[in-house]
Amino acid sequence: MTRTARAFWLGSPGVGEIRDLVLPAPAEGEVLVRSLFSGVSRGTETLVFRGGVPESQHAVMRAPFQEGDFPAPVKYGYLNVGLVEEGPAELLGRTVFSLFPHQTRYVVPASAVTPVPDSVPAERAVLAGTVETAVNALWDAKPLVGDRIAVVGGGMVGCSVAALLARFPGVRVQLVDADPARAKTAEALGVGFALPRDALGGCDLVVHASATEQGLTRSLELLAAEGTVLELSWYGDRKVSLPLGEDFHSRRLVIRSSQVGTVSPARPGRTYADRLALALDLLADPALDALVTGESAFEELPEVMPRLASGELPALCHRVRYPSGS
């Protein structure tokens, strides 16, 4: 029996399209998955949509099941939740998460899917990839009991980090963003909120995720002496200027990068699978529903992606819904 599917492609920078394709039959050790939901991570995916991936980062930025090459045409994405229709008995009928792009059905190795715990709704499980990024960031950051922490940038990654930090005992956590509307998100996540000018200083740790020069500068200003900025933003092809004169050296400040492509060296015994499984377990918390701020049908993606990229459609994680039996 011939199996067909539909996939969302970036045909050229700023122009998306849906393409038909024929799926191979799953071989031994593979699964056929029918997509239930996928997620658009607004920061990275809209940068890809605009064609903003620097040539030097084309290899680094490849998604696990990407087809095509940057800038376009390319099939890109990495937040997919689906139902296993064919495959090993232990996975058959299970809801699973995978790092697959926006596509109605797909065939991948069974090792490439992770079962979603029964305590996590499929609708929320699309956040797994971003919560995994937050887990890795906190492994890198090593926050301590009683720390004073700011998360600058209330996007999908920043809010995920803030949500996990809210569980740490004795910490003061403040989400800092230029958009006053993020105050409601912070409240839902159980953390404080401030506009950049009003943020509390004296921080032991600042996690920066705004992807702006102004946000990184403000992050440095919020640090106490010997404090650390953990940089999660990815700037694509943009250059950033920083005030590394004045008291940067006398206060012995630190700027450290973190990137989910490598498991944090602070956890050498953990694997990618361990990290993703932990992220899915953490998604049992319904407070994380606050990170899903919009939803549309798969067929609407060619019209929705330009609106997400331009900011006309504000979003943290935008969820894509697939038709049943597609």
What is the model's pLDDT at position 95?
Answer: 98
Mean pLDDT of 270-299: 96
Single pTM value for the model: 0.90
pLDDT tens figures, 108-125 = 999 999 999 999 999 999
Q: pLDDT tens digits, residue range 30-83?
A: 999 999 999 998 778 988 999 989 898 899 889 999 999 999 999 999 999 999
Question: Which secondary-structure segment (H or E) carries 302?
Answer: helix 301-310
Domains of the chain: 3-124+288-321 (3.90.180.10), 130-257 (3.40.50.720)
Average predicted confidence (pLDDT) for the chain? 95
Tell whether the model's pLDDT for residue 1 goes beyond 70: no
Whether residue 259 has pLDDT greater than 90 = no
Half-sphere exposure of 72 (CA within 13 A, CB side): 17
**In percent, how much of the chain has pLDDT > 70?**
99
Per-residue pLDDT, averaged over 282-299, amounts to: 96
Between CA 261 and CA 136 the distance in angstroms is 9
289: Cβ contacts below 8 Å, ≥ 6 apart: 124, 188
254 pairs with which residues across the strands?
228
